[in-house]
Chains A and B, each alone.
Chain A
């Protein structure tokens, strides 16, 4: 076992780092202020392959793996958490549903334009009354045999990317009596009649991400758009979220590493009591602790990615990575602000934004409590 990245991964890391430095960093502060995502940036991310990393070339993807995707998520999130989640929801929540469960015809129609073009996807699972308890779906899809269509009615909340996305995987009850096994997954074209998308929800962090309420009123979708069988929706959502958590873990690592990099530069420059802050042992030890935690989080993240890439079950590894890395991101970003004092608290310095962005990593794609349910479940703690 060695901890070195392969040549392919190293060169990809170089690309993602350069892209983040030159294309994302200059926009991040303004996107946060205006709560708008820059559409030119989105187009560039599509152009250079950042929106289709772990998908096969056959459908226009990059042909990379989950480790490549984690590297991208870290580099991008070092500069901007909002851009990180934009890539993540598109890649590991929307595209993965099609990649895992779509037929070749469905992949051609709904995956290819999203990884080989400019179309963007989102993922509509959470509802006002179905958060951690995602099985409690109230959105309904009723089959109309006359037209071979489903008619969708209901409301989703917190659908990231919905502000500009073209497609959404929407989860809806097709058979209430079956409970979790009564949920199905549909690709909905968001430009179609009956779909209403709210303004970007006002939030504490990742403010440039476009995270809206989406209501579906008599939205007709061809049966062709159903991914997997009827009743497979919950399974599809959980599979997608397992992979998504690796992306969020990597986003957390990026936010934390970015904050360390900023704080390092600052403590070398800033002088108090006649010396740079970096000369104080408390500063040195704090940074040593911060970097150690981030390295541990990164290793857990890479382990989860490699486990997934090897084809083994990785639910537990992904949940552990997300649980740990999201906690580290919050601790480390908070300490980075502390190291930089009043300036760290100001919007002019990116650690202020990183601290606000970090909080969400403990909430979305399953809260930290839900991660512990997944991990303890896999450990069979409660089994006889």
Chain B
């Protein structure tokens, strides 16, 4: 079985600050990391591979600038088998829709049984790319995966919802988007790092994918999304939790609403 994990290199938001004037991320000098959800997807893929122990392989795909090479080396050093970097000037400025088009074009060439992506990237938080790839590939998808079990051609997914879980059975080929909670990632292996740098990473530019790509659909020009403004989150005050019987709770809420002249 062939598992493909799509990963993104993102700025480490623990270290990121917002520019107070433009409200954009200041990325200069900020270390880059593999997006957390994506790293958990890598770990899940490696666990499936180890559990099945039947020649299953894990392939990593990353679209990004040449510097994203190190993210792929890290994934290889964790135990992935091969890696592809999708990197071209033409891809720059792509929004989630254009990104998904480029990645799905690559995935069609690479081939797969199971595609894992992270739920969302910490520098955009859209959670759109995974589902869009599945749509482009015409395969079923399960988002927000918190537990994954492979059974022959079938995958059982525990899908996190706001107030409940869904247990979903899905046939491969399919795509899952992983939550950070899906699997705690392992460290790289020291020897894996040496191996990772002895391996060749396949770099695909526009020309390599052009048979399946319409240049009008990708890059800044092919991206329908327009960012109107971006701004920092308003800090909400800390909430108060009342652990009281329903009757009392209702009264507290009514009092609060009256206090603020809302009712």
Contacts and interface: CB of A to CB of B under 8 A. Distances in A.
Interface of A: 7-8, 11-12, 15-16, 18-19, 48-50, 52-53, 57, 61-64, 68, 72
A383 to B, nearest CB: 42
Contacts of A57: 191, 194
11 contacts: A7-B73, A11-B196, A15-B190, A18-B187, A48-B188, A48-B189, A49-B189, A49-B190, A49-B192, A52-B190, A52-B191
B191 A11 contact: no
Contacts of A63: 191, 194-195
Interface residues of B, number: 15
Contacts of A64: 190-191, 194
Interface string B26-50: 0000000000000000000000000
A62 B190 contact: yes
The interface centre, meaning the residue of A8, A53, A57 with most chain B CB atoms within 10 A of its CB, is: A8
A354 to B, nearest CB: 25
Contacts of B187: 15, 18-19, 48
B70 interface: yes
Question: What is the interface of chain B mostly: helix, strand, loop, or mixed?
Answer: helix
The DSSP consensus for interface residues of chain A is helix
B193 interface: yes
Interface in B178-203: 187-197
A158 to B, nearest CB: 28
Residue from A50, A63, A68 having most chain B Cβ neighbours under 10 A: A63
Contacts of A19: 187
Contacts of B189: 48-49, 62
B188 A8 contact: no
Nearest to B77: A11
B190 A48 contact: yes
A368 B74 CA distance: 40
Contacts of B192: 49
B191 A49 contact: yes
A68 B191 contact: no
A68 B190 contact: yes
A171 B195 CA distance: 36
Contacts of A50: 190
Interface string B149-191: 0000000000000000000000000000000000000011111
A15 B73 contact: no
A86 B65 CA distance: 41
Given A49-B192, A64-B190, 18 more contacts: A7-B70, A7-B197, A8-B193, A8-B194, A11-B73, A11-B193, A15-B77, A15-B188, A15-B190, A18-B187, A19-B187, A48-B189, A49-B189, A52-B190, A57-B194, A63-B194, A63-B195, A64-B194
